Structure 1
Amino acid sequence: MEEQREAAAGATSAADSTNCEINERWVDRNVVVSVSGVVDMLTAPQLEQAIRAGLAKEPAGLVVDFSAVEFLASAGMGILVAIHDEITSDVKFCVVAEGPATSRPLKLLGIADIIPLYASVDEALAALSA
């Protein structure tokens, strides 16, 4: 019984160590969903929910900002592809990803070929406004 409690406590602390914070802000008619921490199979549903909540407000553009993401798993990348496939042509969509934890996997898997990547939120917003 004691071993089970210790195992459960270990699982809880492991889950707690997977931090992911998501914030939404608006710049003109563009929604910026900023993510920090780890995007994996445990936190990807939070990301999807935040993106869908922003899209429900009918923005002209959507920027997913991964600048502060330390680890991006396939679950998070799958969310981006699903959103890309579902989004209407009325909404421009791009991702901010710079560095080996984010832009590298997006480029290696070919996601950067279908969703534009930018190095900063300012660059992404400028591209959406163009």
Structure 2
Amino acid sequence: MDAYDSRQYWLGRTAVVSASGALDLLTSPRLEKLVTSTLEQRPDALIIDLTDVSFLGSAGMQVLVDAYEATSPNIGFAVVADGPGTSRPLKLIGLTEVFDVVASLQTAVDRLSRGA
């Protein structure tokens, strides 16, 4: 079983929340709490980095949807997901049509810094 962990760091005014391990019904509330506290700090953009997530369950996807909905039009939002455990479920559910899902943190930073 993968141990879940999450952390927050900043790249200028862009907040990055990264998670690792399995993001499921048991662990998603921890990510949700971190995302909420991050948004309270009023970043210009929020990136949720799932690069090290091995499993993304429906509860984890709901956290992503809630985070997207909580970012106002003034806050950029992107999810980094590259791999069968993360990008595939997001594509299957159709969330890649709702918000930006990119393959690397650098791509997310570049896209949000241009406002695209």
2:76 to 92, 99, 107: 92
1:38 to 22, 28, 36: 22
Report the alpha carbon displacement of residue 18 of structure 1 after superposing the two structures with TM. 5.1
Structure 1 equivalent of residue 7 of structure 2: 23
Q: What SS class does the counterpart of residue 78 from structure 2 fall into?
A: strand
Q: 1-side partners of 2:71 and 2:47: how far apart?
A: 13
Q: Which amino acid aligns with 1:38?
A: A
Q: How does 1:27-106 map to 2 (within 5 A)?
A: 27-106=11-90
Q: 2-side partners of 1:125 and 1:19: how far apart?
A: 27
Displaced runs of 4 or more, over 4 A: none
Are residue 122 (structure 1) and residue 106 (structure 2) matched? yes
TM-score, with length taken from structure 2: 0.95
Q: Which amino acid aligns with 1:123?
A: T
TM-score, with length taken from structure 1: 0.85
Q: Which amino acid aligns with 2:21?
A: G
1:5-56 per-residue CA deviation (whole Å, 9 max, x = no partner) reads: xxxxxxxxxxxx4521001010010000010001000000000001111111
Q: 2-side partners of 1:59 and 1:35: how far apart?
A: 18
Which runs of 5 or more residues in structure 2 are unaligned?
A: none
Structure 1 equivalent of residue 97 of structure 2: 113
Instruction: Flag the structure with larger Rg.
Output: 1
* RMSD (CA atoms): 0.9
Report the alpha carbon displacement of residue 86 of structure 1 after superposing the two structures with TM. 2.6
1:72-113 per-residue CA deviation (whole Å, 9 max, x = no partner) reads: 000000111122223211101110000100000001101110
Higher relative contact order at CA 8 Å, sep ≥6: structure 1 or structure 2? Answer: 2
Identity %: 39
Q: What SS class does the counterpart of residue 94 from structure 1 fall into?
A: strand
